[in-house]
Amino acid sequence: MPLFDLFWTMLWLFLFVAWIWLLISVYADVFRSDDMGGGKKAAWVLFVTVLPYLGVLVYLMARGSSMNERAARQAIRAQQATEDWIREVAAPRTSTADEIAKLVQLHEKGVISADQFEEQKSKLLV
């Protein structure tokens, strides 16, 4: 295989990967869009599926300027959801000493018996 054929093949492979990436981006933007109803989304998907080159070109001309804004909003929502999850998981937990103090209060109030107190305390200390 001559060197020119190798470069030519690499160019076509790059263009094919770029085309697939562009198609996925357009489909993702169609489904991510909040300002379109189901009928418009179905029409865009049908248009891009039936006439892919023309469909992608028209979509980029009609709605391409706001694609980045929708992607940025989605990234911000994902970041906020991740931060909320981290805060929830990393919330300060009560220590063993705090739990024993609660047990002492319950025992002093007569809510739990001495046997129950000792049983729960031994579970906490294990």
Burial class (CB in 10 A: 0-12, 13-18, 19+), 29: buried
Q: What is the pLDDT of residue 108?
A: 92
32 and 67 belong to one structural domain:
yes
Give the DSSP H/E element, type plus range, for residue 120.
helix 114-125
Tokens of 78: 């994902």
- pLDDT tens column, 68-111: 899 999 999 999 999 999 988 887 777 888 888 999 999 999 88
72 and 99 belong to one structural domain:
no
Q: What is the pLDDT of residue 97?
A: 86
51 and 110 belong to one structural domain:
no
In the predicted structure, residue 10 carries a pLDDT above the cut 90:
yes
72 and 43 belong to one structural domain:
yes
pTM of this prediction?
0.61
In the predicted structure, residue 8 carries a pLDDT above the cut 70:
yes
Q: What is the pLDDT of residue 54?
A: 95
25 and 58 belong to one structural domain:
yes
Contacts 24+ apart (CB under 8 A), 100-105: 100/124
Q: What is the pLDDT of residue 91?
A: 73
76 and 98 belong to one structural domain:
no
- pLDDT tens column, 38-72: 999 999 999 999 999 999 999 999 998 899 899 99
Q: What is the pLDDT of residue 95?
A: 81
Domain count, the chain: 2
Q: Identify whether the C-beta of residue 36 lies closer than 8 Å to the C-beta of residue 70.
A: no
Tokens of 120: 């729960």
Could you tell me the end-to-end alpha-carbon distance of the chain, in angstroms, rounded to an integer? 71
Amino acid at position 62, single letter: A
**How far apart are alpha carbons 99 and 95 in whole angstroms?**
6
23 and 81 belong to one structural domain:
yes
> What angle is formed at CA 32 by the lines to CA 30 and CA 35, rounded to 5 degrees?
80
Find the domain containing 114 and state its range: 93-126
Q: What is the pLDDT of residue 11?
A: 96
Q: What is the pLDDT of residue 1?
A: 66
Please identify which residue in the block is written with the tokens 């989605």.
74
9 and 56 belong to one structural domain:
yes
66 and 40 belong to one structural domain:
yes
3-state SS, residue 26? helix
Average of per-residue pLDDT values in the chain:
91
43 and 101 belong to one structural domain:
no
70 and 14 belong to one structural domain:
yes
76 and 111 belong to one structural domain:
no
In the predicted structure, residue 34 carries a pLDDT above the cut 70:
yes
